[in-house]
Structure 1
Amino acid sequence: MFNPTRDQARQFLFDTWRKYREQQPLTDLEKITIGILVAHPEYHTMLDQPDRYLDRDYLPEHGNTNPFLHLSMHLAIEEQLSIDQPAGVKALYLKLCEQQQDEHAALHDMMDCLAEMIWHAQRYQTSPDPAIYLGCLRRKLGQQDSA
């Protein structure tokens, strides 16, 4: 399993953006990543300046949103949807898309739920529990939690 450091994960985003801008060939993973990067124009200036942003910290207590975390969560969700893991996540995503009438908004709902599952695992020092994730998605759809 690939487990990059913070800087390696950030460098991947910078390198992918640079390759896209220079019209260089992209790997399959980079092509998926470009779809995410293009959908976030608010981060394009940052992606053009790796020397300035590679080491920057984004502290929530200062009201900062971490763009690298945001983009990485999008990438994680894309992978989940491509393999329907946890099982049923793709169907819930499609229902969120229908409910929201906006795929990006549905992805952000999923991101909220993914963050909730991760927070819970960190808070209680447990493994991430897909039931928490799926339950949160069902609540966003106004469904009873059947997990």
Structure 2
Amino acid sequence: MIQPSQADVRRFFCGVYAKARTTAPLEPMEMLVSQWIDEHPEYHVELADVDVALASMQTASPSQQNPFLHLSMHLSISEQCSIDQPRGIRQAVELLTHRLNSLHDAHHQAMECLGRMVHESQLSGRMPDGEAYIACVQRHATKD
């Protein structure tokens, strides 16, 4: 399993942003990342300068949105859905997408569930609970 550092992740996202802006050919993973970057123009300034992005790791504030974490979560949910892992996530996100009429908005609600699952796993010292994660997304999908 590849475990990139925080700096590696920032370099990757900034590199994809730069590459997409030059219309250079993108690898499949880069195309997916570029699509999510395009959905978030508010992050373009931060993605445009890799040196600033790396320097800002030292001054990150918990109250500020982290574009690199946010985009990483979009990418994680996309990958989870593509392989349906944990089993049932694809259907849950599809149901949520249909209810909201927006894949982007569905991802944002699924992110809340994903973040909660990761947080609870870290607090308890146990493996992430995929069933609880899917149940959370399903609850969002079936809300009135």
Q: TM-score scaled to structure 2, two decimals?
A: 0.92
Q: Greater shift after overlay, 38-47 or 50-59? A: 50-59
Query: After the TM superposition, which residues 44-59 of structure 1 pair with which residues of structure 2 at under 5 Å, given as runs?
Result: 44-57=44-57, 58-59=60-61
Amino acid at match of 1:9: V
Tell me by how many angstroms 1:44 deviates.
Answer: 0.7
Q: Percent identity of the aligned residues? A: 36
Aligned to 2:86: 86
Task: For residues 2-53 of structure 1, give each alpha carbon's deviation from its aligned partner in whole angstroms, at most 9, with x where no partner exists.
Answer: 1100000110001111111112121111111101111110001111111112
SS at match of 1:8: helix
- Which letter maps to 1:117? M
Q: What's 1:33 paired with?
A: 33
Q: How many Å apart are 1:55 and its aligned residue?
A: 2.8
Equivalent residues in 2 for 1:82-121, closer than 5 Å: 82-121=82-121
Contact 2:117-2:133 within 8 A present in 1 as well: yes
**Aligned-pair Cα RMSD in Å:** 1.3
Q: Which amino acid aligns with 2:119?
A: W
Once the two structures are superposed, what CA deviation does each residue of 1:102-128 show, in whole Å capped at 9, x if it has no partner?
Answer: 221111011111001000001111111
1:53, 1:6 → 2: CA distance?
10
Point out the more displaced range, 97-106 or 48-57.
48-57
Instruction: Give, in whole Å, the separation in 2 of the partners of 1:127 and 1:35.
Output: 31
Mark the runs of 5 or more structure 2 residues left unpaired by the alignment.
none
- Please list every run of at least 4 consecutive aligned residues from structure 1 whose deviation after the TM superposition is greater than 2 angstroms: none
Aligned match of 2:140: 140
CA displacement at 1:141 relative to structure 2: 2.6
For structure 1, the residue ranges without an aligned partner over 5 or more in a row are none
Q: Distance in 1 between matches of 2:89 and 2:5?
A: 27
- Higher relative contact order by CA 8 Å / sep ≥ 6: 1 or 2? 2
